[in-house]
Amino acid sequence: MTRKGDDDSPAASLVSPLCSMHEADPTYMGLEKETSTFGSPGENELARLKNVLLHELPDAVIYADNGGLIRFWNRGAARIFGFSAAQAVGQSLDIIIPEQLRQRHWEGYHRMMSTGHSRHEAHELLAVPAVDRSGRTLSIQFTVAPVADENDSLIGIVAILRDVTATFEEIKRLRAGRS
């Protein structure tokens, strides 16, 4: 994750205000222990909800296996990164990670694959620069969660990513105006 002053890339100084908000908010912390519920869980409705969550949201949903190869790439991911699902599935996550961040990413990735745990508190947002198909740098915020099979063995990691490039540019512009 980027921390203030970590490097010169666009998102490097962006630490999401949500990170500190989550850590400080007791309601959020309490909610962590609860499981999700659904008013009257009809199978049909749940299947539709799953379909919308995976395929229709504008955010990127990316799932990679225990070797870090992309296994699922939704429409949001295609929109944000410019690779179609056919181009991305089977490739390493490296296709969207700037070279200078790959080592840190893979250390974190393999740590979570072997422990099942994040080293971040309260599922705080990670904020990083990413690259799209054309080589353009984007500012991304994302959360991750491990995925296990029926025997509780970890089989991969899913991430939901949002393109916050416009917000980040706006913050930079406002900061520059103040100084």
Burial label for 146, CB within 10 Å (0-12, 13-18, 19+), is: middle
Site for ligand HEM in 26-65 (CB under 6 A): 62, 64
CB closer to ligand HEM out of 50 and 111: 111
Stretch that binds ligand HEM, among 40-48, 97-105, 147-155, 167-175 (CB under 6 A): 97-105
Burial label for 155, CB within 10 Å (0-12, 13-18, 19+), is: middle
Verify binding: residue 75, ligand HEM, rule CB under 6 A.
no
Site for ligand HEM in 113-172 (CB under 6 A): 118-120, 126, 128, 130, 140, 144, 157, 159, 161
Phi, psi of 118 (to 5 degrees): -85, 150
Q: Which of 71, 75, 105, 172 binds ligand HEM (CB under 6 A)?
A: 105
Verify binding: residue 88, ligand HEM, rule CB under 6 A.
no
Instruction: Return residues touching ligand HEM (CB under 6 A).
Output: 1, 62, 64, 93, 96-98, 101, 104-105, 108-109, 111-112, 118-120, 126, 128, 130, 140, 144, 157, 159, 161
